[in-house]
A and B are shown apart, each in its own frame.
Chain A
Amino acid sequence: MIREFLLKINQPWLPTLGTALFVGIFVGMLIWINRRGSNSYYEEASFLPLDEGVKSER
């Protein structure tokens, strides 16, 4: 059965399916990153590299 299925993959619809899958994920991501209330969160995250911890004064 697996073999049957694999053989059927031999079809030109594959790029279309892949593209559709990607577009789905892409749109999902767009919605997700723009969810309400995420502004401050992303703001904070983007400052992470600028902070290496406080230098100890000992």
Chain B
Amino acid sequence: MNDVKMERFKYDDELTKLFIFATVIWGFVALLLGVTVAFQLASWKVNMGLEWSTFGRLRPLHTNAAIFAFVGNAMFAGIYYSTQRLTKSRLFSDVLGRIHFWGWQLIIVAAAISLPLGFTTGKEYAELEWPIDIAIAVIWVVFAINFFGTLVKRREKHLYVALWFYIATIVTVTVLHVVNSIAFPVDFMKSYPVYAGIQDALVQWWYGHNAVAFFLTTPFLGIMYYFIPKAANRPVYSYRLSIIHFWSLVFLYIWAGPHHLLYTSVPDWVQTTAMVFSVMLWMPSWGGMINGLLTLRGAWDKVRTDPVLKFMATSVTFYGMATFEGPLLAIKSINGMAHYTDWIVGHVHSGTIGWNYMIISGMLYYLVPKMWNTTLYSVKMANAQFWLATIGLLLYMMSMWTAGITQALMWRAIDETGKLVYPNFIETVVRIVPMYWVRAFGGVLILAGFILMMYNLWLTIKKSKGLEEQEYMAPAMEKVTSEVNQTAHRKLEGLPTLFTVLTTIAILVGGIIEITPSLISDTFVERDSEIKPYSPLEIAGRDIFIKEGCYVCHSQQIRPMPDEALRYGPPSTAAESVYDRPFQWGSRRIGPDLARVGGKYNDMWHFRHMYDPREVTPKSIMPEYTWLFKKKFEIKTLPKKIKVMTALGVPYTDHQIKNTVLLAQKQAFEITKGLNVDGVDMKMQNKEIIALIAYLQRLGVDGARSRELKKQVRSEQ
């Protein structure tokens, strides 16, 4: 062994440090936004009456900031730090690392500017418009090159299990992002997806669910497998279990996406598949949790005193809780109750706060003292953060459980005469507002804890006496490989390419089977000639609906349940959304479903409601949209929009294509004339509110006509 040549090298820790700074700064921003939107639901006044600060625009900003800015930067810090050490080699390229870092921050800034301005695709967690999507793809490729380049020049033959999770992350996120973001641009910041209706829904939730899996979960499982052994200074409990954990999780996760679409117009067999696989997912998730927790065996005393282990053990526990609750919520009958309610929001936060925030805090408490060559400034402060976050999160989860179950019970309550017990949706809103206050308070505690951590880490860095860059030595890999006794598996794990291919196959099996239904959706979407494309003005109105983020509070998908039939009308059919680009089924009902709101009220009702919801519905928590009464709806881009739609296969007539602007103006004139009777000035006819009313009044109308016709045909027979 002695004649093995040792190579000297240094780790690129400056890059990790940059990502650590970004994590802390964006984490603060994401949490602050979260607290803000939480208060907006408790009191509508917090919307501040400005268009760029309303709930519909800030909520997507909060989710994007939390996922891509906070968790994203933390993931890169953790991956770059641990990958270098696990491969005993410096990163492939310093320059690519810097491009990755600054590129990612630019993307975040672009998101932070464009989302409040209303540039959005209207697809949850994929709201960013196409130029930013392209930038994300490019930077992701840079990251991939840097990561795989490092694997290639590694000095350690074996790829430790953490690296497998990173590989799965990089591969899958690429596939998800590209497939879900394919769109036709209308102009620089507006596009329409190539998918429509049910197809768009399936692709979106395949993406949405797996973004949770492969952005929020797998990279952090890798981080868990690296940092828990490191902090506890003992190897992982069972390496064998980690292998099972990895392959089962990667194989199963990808199938579960449509559990976000249970009871919708998606075919039954797709729903059943998603449910079965979601329940099976419980198994590997708990395998991972057990493996993480048992790694701490014999180190439990340290969990009490060491903030790093305390945060990590708690995060893994919350991971176990969230991955128990997830499969539970995917069971159809439970989902029927919980879907669209705040329960889901509670569930998401037990994941993002309980798992991500906690493990990231643990990682930062490990990395900062180590990288700045000092000790943590204050363990007490870290403990205080721990309790603030834990209590805050418990308040959050309990209030959302209560709110969700209250909503579910009130929505579906039917009396003995077969009528809804709470026919006015607002009654159910008013009942949960106190829970929104509790939740917001929980959020404040979590944020306060984070601020403590920022301060603590800052003082830790300040007391560091500086650090010379440490040089390391390890034998070059050729020498290691020449050792005998290579088993087949070792070869397998030693070959990143083969490994990447196998991982890709594992995710593609489920992916393809899951995406197939959406690709062949024409075969099971019953065509309905009564469902007609939106008129040009309605398209303009629809784009305002998307821009304002109405979908974060309103669903457009009625499920086949007695109470929904009573409250909203007959269940939505797949045919009804064939022209919806993007689909706007929504995932939550802070306000009532809008799929059949067309014709429910007159135009004047909407006119007044949008200006001041509380004038027509006292105690409403919907924001006011006063600017829609001042701004003109976009008419210049309309012809282009109709052309793009036509290119995507929407059957507009020649007349509609040639006279887009005229038709829109005419319809706007008619609507305003109707409002004029009640004293609305004719000058309003070019304002956004008119286009929005046109759209709202169209919702569900074609479906109703179609049902009417079918009924007539049946009675004639």
**A22-B252, A25-B251, A49-B86 known; A10 and B239 CB under 8 Å?**
no
* CB contact between A45 and one of B9, B160, B226, B519 (< 8 Å): that residue: B160
**10 A-B contact pairs sorted by A residue (CB < 8 Å):** A6-B523, A9-B513, A18-B513, A26-B244, A33-B240, A33-B244, A43-B239, A44-B158, A49-B85, A50-B233
**A7-B523, A21-B509, A55-B470 known; A29 and B487 CB under 8 Å?**
no
**A49-B230, A56-B473 known; A6 and B244 CB under 8 Å?**
no
- Chain A: residues with CB nearer than 8 A to chain B? 3, 6-7, 9-12, 14-15, 18-19, 21-22, 25-26, 29-30, 32-34, 37-38, 41-50, 52-56, 58
| Inter-chain pairs besides A12-B268, A14-B273, A46-B229, 8 sampled, C-beta below 8 Å | A10-B524, A18-B276, A45-B239, A47-B235, A48-B158, A52-B472, A53-B155, A54-B473
> What is the CB-to-nearest-CB distance from B87 to chain A, in angstroms, rounded to a whole number?
10
- Nearest 4 Cβ contacts at the A-B interface: A53-B472, A46-B235, A56-B471, A53-B474
Binary interface encoding of chain B residues 140-182 relative to chain A, with 1 for a CB under 8 A from any of its CBs, else 0: 0000000000000001101011100000000000000000000
A14 and B235 contact, CB distance less than 8 A: no
Cα A41 to Cα B486 with chains together (Å)? 10
A58 and B229 contact, CB distance less than 8 A: no
Cα A9 to Cα B267 with chains together (Å)? 12
* CB contact between B472 and one of A6, A32, A54 (< 8 Å): that residue: A54
> What is the CB-to-nearest-CB distance from B181 to chain A, in angstroms, rounded to a whole number?
24
**What residues of A have a CB within 8 angstroms of the CB of B471 in the complex?**
55-56, 58
A22 and B487 contact, CB distance less than 8 A: no
The yes or no answer to B135 lying at the interface (CB within 8 A) is no
B523 and A15 contact, CB distance less than 8 A: no
B523 and A46 contact, CB distance less than 8 A: no
**A6-B516, A37-B487, A49-B82 known; A14 and B269 CB under 8 Å?**
yes
**What residues of B have a CB within 8 angstroms of the CB of A3 in the complex?**
520, 523
* CB contact between B160 and one of A15, A30, A48, A54 (< 8 Å): that residue: A48
> What number of B residues sit within 8 Å (CB to CB) of A?
55
B472 and A55 contact, CB distance less than 8 A: yes
**What residues of A have a CB within 8 angstroms of the CB of B244 in the complex?**
26, 29-30, 33
**What residues of B have a CB within 8 angstroms of the CB of A14 in the complex?**
269, 273, 513
**What residues of B have a CB within 8 angstroms of the CB of A33 in the complex?**
240, 243-244
Binary interface encoding of chain B residues 85-111 relative to chain A, with 1 for a CB under 8 A from any of its CBs, else 0: 110100000000000000000000000
**What residues of A have a CB within 8 angstroms of the CB of B233 in the complex?**
50
Q: How many A-B residue pairs have CB under 8 A?
A: 121
Cα A25 to Cα B251 with chains together (Å)? 9
* CB contact between A18 and one of B158, B229, B243, B277 (< 8 Å): that residue: B277
> What is the CB-to-nearest-CB distance from B291 to chain A, in angstroms, rounded to a whole number?
11
* CB contact between B277 and one of A11, A15, A37, A53 (< 8 Å): that residue: A15
**What residues of A have a CB within 8 angstroms of the CB of B248 in the complex?**
22, 25-26, 29
Chain B residue nearest to A39 (CB atoms) is B240
B489 and A10 contact, CB distance less than 8 A: no
**Which of A6, A10, A43, A45 is the most central at the interface, judged by chain B CB atoms within 10 Å of its CB?**
A45
**What residues of A have a CB within 8 angstroms of the CB of B487 in the complex?**
37-38, 41
Cα A58 to Cα B225 with chains together (Å)? 32
Binary interface encoding of chain B residues 505-525 relative to chain A, with 1 for a CB under 8 A from any of its CBs, else 0: 000011001001101100110
> What is the CB-to-nearest-CB distance from B160 to chain A, in angstroms, rounded to a whole number?
4
Cα A56 to Cα B82 with chains together (Å)? 19
**What residues of A have a CB within 8 angstroms of the CB of B490 in the complex?**
41
Chain B residue nearest to A13 (CB atoms) is B269
The yes or no answer to B272 lying at the interface (CB within 8 A) is yes
Cα A44 to Cα B161 with chains together (Å)? 12
Q: Tell me the residues in window 269-287 of chain B with beta carbons closer than 8 Å to chain A beta carbons.
A: 269, 272-273, 276-277, 280
Chain A residue nearest to B155 (CB atoms) is A53
The yes or no answer to B247 lying at the interface (CB within 8 A) is yes
> What is the CB-to-nearest-CB distance from A3 to chain B, in angstroms, rounded to a whole number?
8
A9 and B516 contact, CB distance less than 8 A: yes
**What residues of B have a CB within 8 angstroms of the CB of A30 in the complex?**
244
The yes or no answer to B410 lying at the interface (CB within 8 A) is no
**A19-B280, A26-B244, A48-B160 known; A12 and B229 CB under 8 Å?**
no
B158 and A19 contact, CB distance less than 8 A: no
Cα A55 to Cα B472 with chains together (Å)? 4
A52 and B85 contact, CB distance less than 8 A: yes
The yes or no answer to B236 lying at the interface (CB within 8 A) is yes
> What is the CB-to-nearest-CB distance from B192 to chain A, in angstroms, rounded to a whole number?
25
* CB contact between A50 and one of B229, B252, B517, B519 (< 8 Å): that residue: B229
A15 and B272 contact, CB distance less than 8 A: yes
**What residues of B have a CB within 8 angstroms of the CB of A26 in the complex?**
244, 248
* CB contact between B156 and one of A29, A38, A48 (< 8 Å): that residue: A48
> What is the CB-to-nearest-CB distance from A51 to chain B, in angstroms, rounded to a whole number?
8
**A12-B269, A26-B244 known; A54 and B251 CB under 8 Å?**
no
Cα A50 to Cα B523 with chains together (Å)? 55
**What residues of A have a CB within 8 angstroms of the CB of B113 in the complex?**
none
**What residues of A have a CB within 8 angstroms of the CB of B520 in the complex?**
3, 6-7, 9-10
B247 and A54 contact, CB distance less than 8 A: no
The yes or no answer to B255 lying at the interface (CB within 8 A) is yes
A25 and B247 contact, CB distance less than 8 A: yes
**What residues of A have a CB within 8 angstroms of the CB of B277 in the complex?**
15, 18
> What is the CB-to-nearest-CB distance from B267 to chain A, in angstroms, rounded to a whole number?
7
A29 and B82 contact, CB distance less than 8 A: no
